[in-house]
A and B are shown apart, each in its own frame.
Chain A
Amino acid sequence: EAGVTQSPTHLIKTRGQQATLRCSPISGHTSVYWYQQALGLGLQFLLWYDEGEERNRGNFPPRFSGRQFPNYSSELNVNALELEDSALYLCASSPLLQAGKNQPQHFGDGTRLSIL
């Protein structure tokens, strides 16, 4: 069974540009979560999608947005990039919401976003 896959592995952008990160969940998982892991700050919850809808978002500005497609894959978009957006962005997936609350989240290897 394939795990959570993320692309690209690395992404280099400059300030003010826009970045798009992609995530494919484990087959059968409908929930996708996005996290930011910046140096020294630990993992911070960004967004949660389930069945194509945004269910919850963390304490991040609106320039962080995303969507979930009918096949449950997801995109994270970051507009007007700032230097402090440099981080490892991790995607996780879990099964259906009702069952998922007791299930562990499975993580991908992340996308390393570097802002120059």
Chain B
Amino acid sequence: KQEVTQIPAALSVPEGENLVLNCSFTDSAIYNLQWFRQDPGKGLTSLLLIQSSQREQTSGRLNASLDKSSGRSTLYIAASQPGDSATYLCAVRKYSGAGSYQLTFGKGTKLSVIP
């Protein structure tokens, strides 16, 4: 059974700092990995999707890396801003049979960027 772990559970940083969020998964036979952002009481916003054949993806100040063999991904946020404060979720997609590709989520890292 796929398990996804995110460390730390919560992180507080001063504005302008660069930071790294970690995600690990137990089964490396994944199809892709996705990072999401969730604001309080809201749904999920997709940030980056990394295919299993890729090593990293970049979007603006965000960079996500994937090391499938070791079961790890990192989300790097450069020059953090108060607007980056949210919970960041990592999810891996794996074939689960009968044409089904299932997402398994970590519990998230709650980020607070202090002005």
Q: Is B107 in contact with chain A by the CB < 8 A criterion?
A: yes
Q: Is the CB of A112 within 8 A of B41?
A: yes
- B43 and A110 contact, CB distance less than 8 A: yes
Chain A-chain B contacts (Cβ-Cβ < 8 Å), number: 58
A83 at the interface (CB under 8 A from B): no
Most buried by B among A43, A102, A110: A43
DSSP majority for the B interface?
Answer: strand
Residues B107 and A42 in contact, CB atoms below 8 Å apart: yes
* Interface stretch of the complex, out of B44-52, B60-68, B71-79: B44-52
Q: Which residues of the partner chain A approach B51 to less than 8 Å between Cβ atoms?
A: 102
Choose from B34, B41, B99, B105 the contact partner of A97 (Cβ within 8 Å). B99
Taking the closest CB of chain A, its distance from the CB of B104, in whole angstroms, is 7
CA distance A89 to B48 in the complex (A): 23
Q: Which B residues touch A108, using CB under 8 A?
A: 43
Contact A55 B43 (CB under 8 A): no
Closest to A59 in B: B1
10 A-B pairs with C-beta separation under 8 A: A35-B105, A42-B105, A42-B107, A48-B100, A56-B96, A92-B44, A101-B101, A102-B51, A104-B49, A105-B34
